[in-house]
Amino acid sequence: MLMASVILRFSLSRSFAATVLPLWSVFLGMLYLAVRRHESKPKTTINRKTQRSRREVSKSGNTTGSLVTNGECIIPPRVSDEVLNRFTLGRNEHEARRISEYVEWQCAKDKERVTYLEKVITEHIYGSRHDCWNVRTDKEQYWVITNPTNLYSQRLFPSVDYTLSFHVGLMARMNAKRTGTKDDRQADRLAAAFRRWEQAAEMLDKAEESEEIQAVGMRCRECLTAFARSVADDRMVPEGRRPPKKGDFIHWSELIANSIASGSSASEVRGHLKSLARSTWQLVSWLTHATNAVRYDGTLVLDATYAVVNAYGAALMRHERPTSDRCSRCGSLRVQVVYRPDSDSGDALGCESCGHLEEKS
CB of 343 to Zn ion, least distance (A): 17
How many Cα atoms occupy the beta-carbon half-sphere of 48 within 13 Å? 6
- In the list 330, 339, 345, 346, the residue contacting Zn ion (rule: CB under 5 A) is 330
Q: Is 63 in the site for Zn ion (CB under 5 A)?
A: no
CB of 355 to Zn ion, least distance (A): 7
- Give the residue with the Cβ less far from Zn ion, 33 or 330: 330
CB of 327 to Zn ion, least distance (A): 3
Could you tell me the maximum CA-CA distance found in the chain, to the nearest angstrom? 154
DSSP letter (8 states) at residue 209 = S
Question: Near Zn ion by CB under 5 A, which window of 121-129, 237-245, 304-312, 319-327?
Answer: 319-327
CA distance 129 to 168: 11
Q: How many residues of this chain interact with Zn ion, rule: CB under 5 A?
A: 8
- In the list 145, 327, 338, 349, the residue contacting Zn ion (rule: CB under 5 A) is 327
CA-based nearest residue to 95, from 331, 358, 357, 350: 350
Question: Near Zn ion by CB under 5 A, which window of 99-107, 152-160, 275-283, 325-333?
Answer: 325-333
Q: Write a three-state SS string for 295-324.
A: HHHHHHHHHHHHHHHHHHHHHHHHHHCCCC
Q: Write a three-state SS string for 33-94.
A: HHHHHHHHHHHHHHHHHHHHHHHHHHHHCCCCCCCCCCCCCCCCCCCCHHHHHHCCCCCCHH
Q: Is 49 in the site for Zn ion (CB under 5 A)?
A: no
CA distance 84 to 250: 61
Q: Is 333 in the site for Zn ion (CB under 5 A)?
A: no
- Give the residue with the Cβ less far from Zn ion, 62 or 328: 328
- Give the residue with the Cβ less far from Zn ion, 134 or 353: 353
- Interface contacts to Zn ion, rule CB under 5 A: 327, 329-330, 332, 351, 353-354, 356
